[in-house]
Amino acid sequence: MNFRLPSQFGTLAVFFALTGCALPPKSSDQTTGSANPKNAARTAAAANADSASLNFDSALASMPAADDKNAQRTSLADAEPIDATDVSDFRQNGRASWYGRAFHGHRTANGERYDMNAFTAAHRTLPLASYIKVTNSSNGKWVVVKVNDRGPYKRGRVLDLSYAAAKLIGLVHAGTGRVKIEGLSPQEARVARGEMLASISK
């Protein structure tokens, strides 16, 4: 006996065949069960590192510029009272450089955190926490800084100034410059720092 399917069944068969071809295949990247713990730990560590980097960059971006009046006034007004070693007999001439954002927040030789907006300096031999007056030999501009770090270790340089100190005496764009260093007694440092604060506030 001959059995013939209605023509509608043929149309339906073609429709289902085409629909099946249109479905997306299962991804070969999908895995069953738990993920590889080593890969998960690596991914988490990378995410934490990226987050820390973004937080650090964000903090630096929001930091006031060293030539900002408020930044300078704050770093001086909040400075600790001067009770330092008397280095008033110290005199030196040489080339100074400066350091800024790359070291911001790092520990200095006396344990303080380096603040690029504070008036500090690194010297190889002067007592830590002593104060000096640094004058730019090319323009006569001067700044009073606290020695709180060691350096510079590059040949031919005698002093590393903070970014704020270098900015105040016009050394930032040149990078380095000839300076005259004069050691100060605690009393001399108080007077000189007061004069500097008054000139900045004008």
Q: How much is the pTM?
A: 0.62
Please determine, for residue 149, whether its predicted confidence score (pLDDT) is greater than 80: yes
pLDDT (0 to 100) of residue 73: 46
CA-CA distances (angstroms) from residue 82 to 33, 178, 194? 66, 27, 11
Question: Would you state the structure tokens that stand for residue 54, as one six-digit string?
Answer: 């973004």
Q: What is the mean pLDDT of residues 24-42?
A: 42
The pLDDT > 90 percentage for the chain reads 52
List pLDDT tens digits, range 5-29: 455 545 545 444 444 444 444 443 3
pLDDT (0 to 100) of residue 67: 47
Dist. CA 177–CA 173, nearest whole Å: 10
Could you state, in order of their start, the residue ranges of all structural domains in the chain? 69-201
Report which listed range, 12-21, 32-41, 161-170, is most confident.
Answer: 161-170
Dist. CA 166–CA 97, nearest whole Å: 8
Q: What CATH number has the domain spanning 69-201?
A: 2.40.40.10
